[in-house]
Amino acid sequence: MNILKIADDTAQSRRTKVRLLSTNEIATIIPPGSLEGKVVVSFDKSGKWARLRPNEVELLEIEKPKKSAPLAIGAQCGLCRDQAATSKCTECGIPICTQECSLANWKKVHRACRIRP
For 51-63, the pLDDT digits (tens) are 999 999 998 876 6
- The maximal CA–CA distance of the chain, rounded, in angstroms, is 57
pLDDT in the model for residue 117: 41
Q: 94 or 97: whose pLDDT is higher?
A: 97
Q: Phi and psi of 115, rounded to 5°?
A: -80, -35
CB within 8 A of 109, min separation 6: which ones? 79, 89, 94, 102, 116
| Sign of torsion over alpha carbons 105, 92, 44, 12 | negative
Cα separation, 90 vs 66, whole angstroms = 10
- Residue intervals in the chain for CATH 2.30.30.30: 3-62
Domain 3-62 top-level CATH class: mainly beta
pLDDT in the model for residue 96: 84
Do 95 and 101 touch, CB atoms closer than 8 A?
A: no
pLDDT in the model for residue 89: 77
Q: How much is the mean pLDDT over the chain?
A: 80
pLDDT in tens, 10-29: 777 787 889 999 999 999 99
